[in-house]
Structure 1
Amino acid sequence: MKLPKPTDSELAILQVLWQEGPSTVKVIHEALSKTRDIGYTTALKLMQIMHGKGLLTRERLGKTHVYQPAISQEKTQKQLLNKLMDTAFQGSAMNLIMQALGNQKATSEELTQIKSFIEKLEGGQNENTQ
């Protein structure tokens, strides 16, 4: 089953839920209002649409609904990255990574993590059997 692709606004809601955990519309609205101009009813409507698309689940607690993501952050990121790589970089992981590293200055800690990751990829299964 193909996961639905979230819009930018839906992704912002998912990011709040991934960070905060299961939340009400009020909590989501307050978090989103810190960085963008969004009305309560707009947030509610978006979350209802997301529920209908299968991006969110909800549980009724008293008079309120508590929403949570139906898909993990990792799966969503992977789906979006694959789509970006296929459309903007003709499927080339190297071009995507080179562009990403060229656009932002990586910290020495990030570069160390990247090098470690590459070494694990080069080492294959040998390092995983320690």
Structure 2
Amino acid sequence: MPHLALGDLEQAVLDVLWREGALNPGQMHQVLGEERGISVNTVSSAMKRLFDKGLLEREKVSHAYEYRAAVSRAELQRQLIASIAERFSGEERAGLLAAFVDIAQADGEETLRRLEALVNARLKGGE
């Protein structure tokens, strides 16, 4: 599994690619870099880091690479949570599960109900 620690810029790049689709560094800079006051090179470096982590795919188009997300938002979330969960075993995981319930509770009753529905579906053998 790739090293998944994401900086703020890397997360923003992924958010844009999930929303907009494939972009080259110049296009990404127009969407993201100008408002942040950062250079095209900084944006390009962030995209390259995400590629190296296995989170982006790229294709050479003319003189530049065009990047697209290699994973969905849901898959990245699953990978991030799995990388945290593998650090805990046995009874230690109970605290991790309690943290998920706390997060759901803080988000409101509707989120708790969605979590309950997900758990019930898994217990019944569904996805």
What TM-score do you get using the length of structure 1 for normalisation? 0.67
The letter for the 1-side match of 2:21 is G
**Whole-Å Cα distance in 2 between the matches of residues 111 and 8 of structure 1?**
27
Q: How far 1:79 moved relative to its partner?
A: 1.8
> CA offsets per residue over residues 45-83 of structure 1, 9 Å max, x none?
222343345432222333443211233333322221011
Out of 1, 4, 10, the position equivalent to 1:6 is 4
**Whole-Å Cα distance in 1 between the matches of residues 12 and 3 of structure 2?**
13
Partner of 1:117: 118
Q: Indicate whether 1:72 and 2:108 are aligned.
A: no
The letter for the 2-side match of 1:111 is L
Partner of 1:48: 48
Structure 1 pair 50/74, CA: closer, same or farther in 2 (3 Å)? same
Kept in 2: contact 1:5–1:80 (CA 8 A): no
Q: What are structure 2's unaligned runs of at least 5 residues?
A: none
Q: What are structure 1's unaligned runs of at least 5 residues?
A: none
Seq. identity, %: 26
Figure out how many residues of one structure are paired with residues of the other and give that number: 121
Superposition CA RMSD, Å: 3.0
Structure 1 pair 42/98, CA: closer, same or farther in 2 (3 Å)? same
**Whole-Å Cα distance in 2 between the matches of residues 37 and 110 of structure 1?**
37
The letter for the 1-side match of 2:106 is K
**Whole-Å Cα distance in 2 between the matches of residues 106 and 46 of structure 1?**
31
1:1-130 residue pairs with structure 2 within 5 A?
A: 3-9=1-7, 10-33=10-33, 38-87=38-87, 90-91=88-89, 92-103=92-103, 105-122=106-123, 124-125=124-125, 128=126
What TM-score do you get using the length of structure 2 for normalisation? 0.69
